[in-house]
Each structure stands twice: as structure tokens, then as C-alpha cells.
Amino acid sequence: MTMKRFRFLTSGESHGKSLNAIIEGVPAGIRIKPEIINEELKRRQIGYGRGDRMRIEQDTIEIKSGIRLGKTTGAPICLEIKNKDYANWEDVMSVIGYEYPTEEMLKKIEEKSFTKVRPGHADFAGAKKYNLSDLRDVLERSSARKTAIEVAVGSVAKQILKEFGIVGFSHVVQIGDVKLDFYPKTYTMIKEKAEKSDVRCADEMTADRMRNAIDKAGEVGDTLGGRFEVIFGNIPIGLGSYVHWDQALDGRLAQAVMSIPAIKAVEIGAGVDSAHLRGSQMHDEIFVGRNKETYRQTNNAGGIEGGISNGETLVVKGTMKPIPTMKKALSTVDLKNNTSALAHFERSDVCAVPACAVVAEARVAIILVDELLTKIGGDNLVEMKAHYGI
Ligand code: EPS
């Protein structure tokens, strides 16, 4: 993804020492609170259907640079989350290739090596692409574990957006076959209810059925996917553009959410439902009020028209496939000798849709802050606010 103003890179393996990020382009003078980042990390960790790893980790951020006395200085920000589980993986994940490894080391490495591809995971294509014979080398970076540090980056983005009154949330609308049919009336109500729910669902009865479905899938060694929505309000008109394909806000958001592990579809507003709506039903009519202000009564466009934010609420929907690491092993190939086998299994989640929704919030916030900085410019918060007119 080509970022324009707010750029970052991450590094780290699932069972390596730590996950890291360096963010560049954050203007000076912005208050960043580590405790807010930690709250976001916690939101990503909770969720019904998560595996045992989440009981080991208590993701905590360490800010290593770029912030002094609570505020950004304009310098790059370096973030780190230590993997607690690394203590159990030190030999397996050792950076050093010892010439004379101990028998014990070799045994541990061998135990964690695998060659039986998990269909649906990155194993097959990753092994071929990088010429890796031990699928551990694919798993470690392709794991969704890396989304923890992305949520930390997203939290920095959210804290910038909040200075401009731009705030968002996410909620889960489907897990397996169980769909949310009853939506609370307002976004505030959806947010409050979803935030209290361990499946991020705004209706308690539906949440019960979702938990039930997760239990049932887990009992037979299966996994479940689902759908979620990310909603951001108070977005200014004019983020993104129609002048070039890579500047369209909907296109950028789609890329940002689609590249989260296990995402198979991204929609904006009415999304796939727009296929069966007539033009007269789909498009959000514009009305003019007493004071010449314009308003709409519908938002099928999801806040974007012509690749540009139109001032309405931004609605991004994501569909996650069931996690491919399953106790119920599928037929596959053993890459050691190209023979038929049953897929590798190791500790995993039955369902991670609620966590994925939190990751998607972070990705959306990152794109919004990049677009906001591109539009209003400024090297510090005072300048930015002056440009924004607040
Ligand atoms: C994850 C940590 C992982 C998995 C999950 C996401 O922990 P471990 O592999 O040590 O059990 O729980 O990763 C996947 C589902 C995957 O397919 O890669 C996390 O921190 O979110």
C-alpha cells in the first residue's frame, strides 16, 4: 500500500521475541497515551472462540521513541510488543544458526517443524515462493499474530483522528450461519452494546446463538468465519479522489481491510446488496433544509461517492473466512515427499471474527489519518487545526 503521509513498517514473528513498528509522518504536538494503545490491544485479544495463546499473552505496548512527555515530537515513533510466549520458543526461534546445536535444541526444533500443508493458510504458496522446506518459516510471519502491532499503529492513528472529532467502532453482524437481524436504532447504541459483548454483537440473543455456534464448531474440531462492520463518523468531505485509481478512498480502504489475514470480501455501504437495488432505491437523495444545509435520509453509499468522502458516516464491511488451522484435519500434501497426508494442526482459534473487527478498525483509521494529513497538511497539531478551521 502506498501511503502518502502516515507511513509505517512492522516486523516480528508469531513466536519470536517481539513485534515492532516504526511510524513516520506523525505531526508534532499530538498527545499519545500508551494506556489507550493498551486498551485497544486488549480489545483485540478478547473474544469468544479465541485459543489458548490469548491466555498466555497480555499484549502491552512499549513506546521506544518519537514521544516525549506525552506528546509526539515529529520524530519517527517506534513501538514494541514483547511476545510472552517467546520464553517457550527461544531455541526454536533462535536467530543464531548454531554450528553445534545441543541434542535438546535439535529435538525442540524438530518438534515444531512441519511439512503437511494447511489448506487455506499461506503454507503451500509461501513455501513455494520463498523456497522454504520447514513450514514453520511460513507460519511465523503469516500468522495473524502480527495484527497486534498493527492495532497499536491504528491506535496512534485513532488518537490523531480524535483531535478532529473523527471516531469509529466495529461490530460483528454474522458468525457462521448466525446473523444479526435486529440492529439497535442508533450507532451509539450499537457501539455500546457491541463493546460489552464477547462476540462484539449488539444483540444479546444473537450473541448467545453466536457463542453456541462457536461451541458446536469447536466440539467437532471445526472453525467459523463471519462478517463485521466498521463505522466512522464526523469525516470531512473530500478525503480521497476520483482523479486517479489509486487515490479513490473506497479503493484504499478495500485494500487495507482485504489484506487482513482471512478476509475474503470488503464492501462499502450497501456493498453486494447494491446489485439487486434499482438506481432509484440505491442512491441517497439529497434534501435542502431551511438554512440551505443539505442532508440525506439514507446512506447506501456508505459515506463515499466517486472515491471521495461525502460527509456521511463511513461504513466498511468485512467478511472473514473460517480459520484454516483445524483439529478436523483436511486432506493435503506432505511437502517432505509430496505424498498425501492430513493437514498439520497446532493450537489455534475456533473463531476470531470479533478480533478481526478490531484489526479492521485500525486499518480504516490508518487510511483515514493518511488521507486527512494529505488533505490538510501541517507538521504540527496547531498548524493542522488551523488548516482544518477548528
Ligand atoms: C494470534 C496468535 C496465534 C493464533 C492466531 C492469532 O497464536 P498461536 O499460533 O501461538 O496459538 O492464535 O493465529 C492464527 C489464527 C493464524 O491463522 O495465524 C493473535 O495474536 O492474534
- Stretch 156-176: mean pLDDT: 98
Phi and psi torsions of 352, nearest 5°: -125, 25
Q: What share of the chain is helix, strand, coil (3-state, %, to 5)?
A: 35, 20, 40
d(CA 299, CA 284): 6
Encode pLDDT of 262-283 as tens digits.
999 999 999 999 999 999 999 9
Encode pLDDT of 113-133 as tens digits.
999 999 999 999 999 999 999
d(CA 157, CA 72): 12
SS3 per residue for 308-369: EECCCCEEEEEEECCCCCCCCCCEEEECCCCEEEECCCCCCCCCCHHHHHHHHHHHHHHHHH
Q: What is the mean pLDDT of the chain?
A: 97
Q: For ligand 1, what atom is nearest to the CA of residue 352?
A: 15
148 ligand 1 Cβ < 6 A? yes
143 ligand 1 Cβ < 6 A? yes
- Tell me the Cα Rg of the chain: 22
pLDDT of residue 185: 94
Encode pLDDT of 66-91 as tens digits.
999 999 999 999 999 999 999 999 99
Whole-prediction pTM: 0.98
Q: 320 near 225, Cβ under 8 Å?
A: yes
d(CA 156, CA 66): 12
83 ligand 1 Cβ < 6 A? no
d(CA 32, CA 67): 8
Which set of grid coordinates corresponds to residue 217? 464448531
Question: How remote is the CA of residue 92 from the centroid of ligand 1, in Å?
Answer: 17
Question: How remote is the CA of residue 175 from the centroid of ligand 1, in Å?
Answer: 18
pLDDT of residue 2: 81
Beta strands in the chain (DSSP E): 7-11, 18-24, 61-65, 67-68, 71-72, 77-82, 167-175, 178-179, 226-233, 263-268, 286-288, 294-296, 304-305, 308-309, 314-320, 331-334, 339-342
What percentage of the chain carries pLDDT values higher than 70? Answer: 100
Amino acid of residue 196: K
What percentage of the chain carries pLDDT values higher than 90? Answer: 99
Which residue's alpha carbon is nearest to atom 12 within ligand 1?
Answer: 348
Q: For ligand 1, what atom is nearest to the CA of residue 147?
A: 21
Nearest to 53 by CA among 21, 11, 88, 19: 88
Assign 192 a pLDDT band (cuts: 50, 70, 90).
very high
d(CA 177, CA 68): 49
Which residue's alpha carbon is nearest to atom 16 within ligand 1?
Answer: 143
pLDDT of residue 1: 76
pLDDT of residue 5: 95
* Positive or negative: CA dihedral 219, 41, 58, 96: positive
Which residue's alpha carbon is nearest to atom 8 within ligand 1?
Answer: 53
84 ligand 1 Cβ < 6 A? no
Q: Under 8 Å CB-to-CB from 261, ≥6 apart: which residues? A: 142, 143, 144, 147
Helix (H, G, I), strand (E, B) or coil at 237: coil
43 pLDDT more than 90: yes
Beta bridge partners of 263: 320
DSSP 302: T
Q: 10 near 149, Cβ under 8 Å?
A: yes
Q: For ligand 1, what atom is nearest to the CA of residue 143?
A: 18
Encode pLDDT of 291-325 as tens digits.
999 999 999 999 999 999 999 999 999 999 999 99
Encode pLDDT of 215-233 as tens digits.
999 999 999 999 999 999 9
Encode pLDDT of 343-387 as tens digits.
999 999 999 999 999 999 999 999 999 999 999 999 999 999 999
